[in-house]
Amino acid sequence: MPELRLRRLAPDEPANWPAALTDLATFTALDSWTNFIHRVYQFPVYRFETEKEGIVTGLLALTHIRHPLFGNFLATSPFGSYGGFASADQPSRDLLLTEARRLAADLQVDYANLRFDAGPDSTPPEGWIQHPVYYTYLMDLTSDLESLLAGFSSDHRNHIRKSLKKGFTIRFGGLDLLDDAYEALACSMHELGSPYHAKNYLHAMAVSLGETLEFAVVYSPQGQLVGAGVFILHGTTVTNLHANLLRAYRSDYAGEFLYWQVIERYARRGLRVFDIGRSLVGSGNETFKMKWKPRRQPLAYWYALRPGVELPALNQKNPKFALAIAAWKRLPAFIVRQLGPYLIRGLA
């Protein structure tokens, strides 16, 4: 029997992983993503692959996050919804899981967290705990836009049509839209009571990902910022990494306008799937995303905990964060812009 081997990639070694695996592991497994995260936040990245007879059968990219408020841990897909882990078979998967636990023990972290699409069976093996709080929402695209519209409820179709009559405009681009995209995202995140990155984060991301990243910025008829999104293309999928609208424009269905313009653009370009992005189960974001009739896909969030460590809950549903969220909304922008990048780096 051919031997299954595990290999750790050198820090400066390019990953040469087959598309069959990177399509499953998403863009967060690629060098363009892990290198960008390392450059911005200096987090160490550890990459592993399994191989048999010279063929790569599994991959794992773990980032080491250390933060005084949010802990010391390893995670795949830092600042992404999921990915960074994929395997062609169970032996490869199990070997990578064993290595993840070994690395966690060596680094003395509180836990290792693997976030990925496990398919229909997300039951973790012994030594791992599944925390089923996130889903992603996958919409199948087609160039027949009328058939897409016909699949929505009559109310949702009506809201989309109303949004198209409000006089909103949208621009897609790269670094030419950086300033507007950042301002819209930072302001909307402040309204939601959440910290956001510094502008250099979006700049570094756009430079590293190149043509696979597009900003989308929505403007009012008067030219004011309405909202923005960051969309990443990988294979035949376009992923919504961030998309937020300013509160003043939500009642005018600005969210419906942004999403429909995105759907039109990428459907006409031949992409097959719109990954609308992850949301917490039962959240308002989930309610909005389900209006687009996507496939609701549970995400595997597997944790290997150090003895005595509780399962973390670094999300806005944690009651411990309620007071902080309320206070953050009331802070002036100049304080939020300074503190936000420091806080969010620990929420990878």
Specify the pLDDT at position 132.
86
User: Averaged over 118-145, what is the pLDDT?
Assistant: 90
In a domain, 285, yes or no: no
Q: Which residues make Cβ contacts (< 8 Å) with residue 129, sequence separation at least 6?
A: 302, 303, 304, 305, 311
Residues 15 and 128 in one domain: yes
In a domain, 322, yes or no: no
pLDDT surpassing 80 at residue 1: no
Residues 121 and 208 in one domain: no
pLDDT tens for 272-315 read: 999 999 999 889 899 999 999 999 999 999 999 999 999 988 77
Task: Name which of 272, 289, 261, 269 is nearest 172 in CA terms.
Answer: 261
User: Averaged over 306-325, what is the pLDDT?
Assistant: 86
Residues 82 and 181 in one domain: no
Grouping H, G, I as helix, E, B as strand and the rest as coil, residue 326 is helix
Domain total for the chain?
Answer: 2
Q: Residue 306 sits in which domain range?
A: 4-134+299-317
Task: Name which of 347, 79, 341, 345 is nearest 186 in CA terms.
Answer: 341
Q: What is the mean pLDDT of the chain?
A: 95
Residues 68 and 152 in one domain: no
Residues 221 and 111 in one domain: no
**Residue 307 backbone phi and psi in degrees, to 5:** -50, 130
pLDDT surpassing 80 at residue 115: yes
pLDDT tens for 19-57 read: 999 999 999 999 999 999 999 999 999 999 999 999 999
pLDDT surpassing 90 at residue 319: no
Distance CA 232, CA 242 (A): 10
In a domain, 324, yes or no: no
Residues 211 and 252 in one domain: yes
Residues 104 and 149 in one domain: no
Residues 147 and 258 in one domain: yes
In a domain, 282, yes or no: no
Residues 106 and 48 in one domain: yes
What pTM did the predictor assign?
Answer: 0.95
CATH of residue 266: 3.40.630.30
- DSSP H helical segments within 75-198, as ranges? 90-107, 145-150, 154-163, 178-192
Residues 149 and 95 in one domain: no
In a domain, 159, yes or no: yes
Q: Which residues make Cβ contacts (< 8 Å) with residue 88, sequence separation at least 6?
A: 20, 21, 57, 58
How many helices and strands, by DSSP H and E, does the chain display? 11, 16
* H-helix or E-strand spanning residue 335: helix 333-344
The mean-pLDDT minimum among 37-51, 114-128, 185-199, 295-309 falls in 114-128
CATH of residue 118: 3.40.630
pLDDT tens for 70-111 read: 999 999 999 999 999 999 999 999 999 999 999 999 999 999
Specify the pLDDT at position 243.
95
In a domain, 252, yes or no: yes
For the chain, the first-to-last Cα distance in angstroms comes to 40
Output the 3-class SS for 153-178.
Answer: CHHHHHHHHHHCCCCCEEEEECHHHH
pLDDT surpassing 90 at residue 14: yes
Residues 26 and 80 in one domain: yes
User: Averaged over 318-326, what is the pLDDT?
Assistant: 86
Neighbouring C-beta atoms of residue 185, cutoff 10 Å: 24
Residues 162 and 126 in one domain: no
Distance CA 161, CA 154 (A): 11
* Confidence grade of residue 120 (pLDDT, cut at 50, 70, 90): confident
CA dihedral sign, ordered 317, 323, 326, 328: negative
pLDDT surpassing 80 at residue 121: no
pLDDT tens for 240-275 read: 999 999 999 999 999 999 999 999 999 999 999 999
User: Averaged over 222-250, what is the pLDDT?
Assistant: 97
